[in-house]
Amino acid sequence: MRFGLLLFGVVACAPRAQVSPPATTSTDASPPSAQPAPLRRRVFAPEQGRNGIAYGPYRDGQHPDHAQPTEAQLLEDLQILDPGFDLIRVYGAGDTSKRIVELIDEHDLGLGVLLGAWIAPDAAEANVAEVDRAIALANAHPDVIVAVAVGNETQVDWSAHRSPLPDLVVQLDRVRGAVKQPVTTADDYNFWNKPEAQEVAPHVDFILCHAHPLWNGKQVAEATPWTAATIADIESRHPGIPVVVGEVGWATAKETVGEQGRLIVAPADDASQVKVWKELAAWSEERGQPWFWFEAFDEPWKGGEGPQHVEKHWGLYRVDRTPKPALAAVTGDQP
């Protein structure tokens, strides 16, 4: 039984060139003078459900570019997440993501995967190779991979890995032409609410939108109303395109100086995470909103050297895989 169901007792759980829209996927012939037909969007409606969580598998001493989790560690994580979530989101299509998908298949776990393809600036060859891996994985595991997200925060103006918009569109169209699953790109609401987003929207099946109330200077009581209003605003700017919450969450620690001290004005602690988790879960359940909480496990490799850096502390579980109070309040497990 999924955590959303356990908690609420509801039955069910950055001037850019203009880019032309992709050709229609219809097989109907059109007169040569006709405009391209609108994209016939594939529906993001995974059989597993709509409650998802972002999954970074890296433990103490591990890093995406260095030591990787063992197969046993990956399986342990998946077995922890399987009872409480319908979906997991991974951000790349490399060997570790491949093994995650294979383990779900091999062990018949009830998790669907939103697969990422990591896109970086000035890395054309690497981007093509990454997209190739994502295509191959999506086609090899169509029952596990429920959608593919090409690029993560590649367009929002504060991104450290902004990439040219036309290049992103090329890769979106390439993936969509090679897989059967819905295809999108993940970005912050502060891209999806900009005019440039109108150049990307014709190339995606749904919008994968990040909305972090903590980073946006909101207090605990404002977190869910602000998230709801933000998603409603993105929907109004892209009528007819479904919006999936790709990231939303609340950290349990932060630094009080620098960027964090300036932008994060609310407490980042266990009690605040409990309240935000419960209220967002209730909102998503009532609305039928597909969403991905950020994130599953604390990741000490992220952020700066200080142990309190906020990027290390977004998990519902600690790095040792014990649950924080937000989960203990739902499952009865002791934190």
21: pLDDT strictly greater than 80: no
How would residue 334 be classed by pLDDT, with cut points 50, 70 and 90?
Answer: low
Identify the pLDDT of residue 193: 98
How far apart are the C-alpha atoms of 258 and 284, rounded to whole Å? 33
Q: Which two tokens stand for residue 11?
A: 């039955």
- Residue 330 has a pLDDT of 62
Q: What confidence score (pLDDT) does residue 327 get?
A: 84
Strand partners, 117: 150
User: Is the model's pLDDT at 22 over the cut of 70?
Assistant: no
Mean pLDDT for the stretch of residues 167-191:
98
Q: Peptide bond before 285: cis, by omega within 30 degrees of 0?
A: no
Instruction: Please check the confidence at residue 7 and state whether its pLDDT lies above 80.
Output: no
- The average pLDDT across 74-89 equals 97
- Given CA atoms 239, 243, 247, 249 in this order, what sign does their dihedral have? positive
Percent of the chain whose predicted confidence (pLDDT) is above 70: 87
pLDDT at 98: 98
pLDDT band at 252, cuts 50/70/90? very high
On average, the pLDDT of the chain sits at 89
Q: What pLDDT, on the 0 to 100 scale, is given for residue 304?
A: 87
The tens digit of pLDDT for each residue in 267-288 reads 999 999 999 999 999 999 999 9
Question: What are the tens digits of pLDDT across the range 212-229?
Answer: 999 999 999 999 999 999
Q: Say what the pLDDT of residue 261 is.
A: 92
pLDDT at 263 over 50: yes
Q: What percent of the chain has pLDDT above 90?
A: 85
3-state secondary structure the chain: CCHHHHHHCCCCCCCCCCCCCCCCCCCCCCCCCCCCCCCCCCCCCCCCCCEEEECCCCCCCCCCCCCCCCHHHHHHHHHHHCCCCCEEEECCCCHHHHHHHHHHHHCCCCCEEEEEECCCCCCHHHHHHHHHHHHHHHHHCCCCEEEEEEEECCCCCCCCCCCCHHHHHHHHHHHHCCCCCCEEEEEEHHHHCCCCHHHHHHHCCCEEEECCCCCCCCCHHHHHHHHHHHHHHHHHHCCCCCEEEEEECCCCCCCCCHHHHHHCCCCCCHHHHHHHHHHHHHHHHHHCCCEEECCCECCCCCCCCCCCCHHHCCCCECCCCCECHHHHHHHCCCC
Nearest of 177, 111, 176 to residue 145 by alpha carbon:
111
Strands 145-152 and 183-188, bridge-based pairing? parallel
Question: For position 39, what pLDDT does the model report?
Answer: 84
Residue 99: HSE in the Cβ half-sphere, 13 Å Cα cutoff: 13
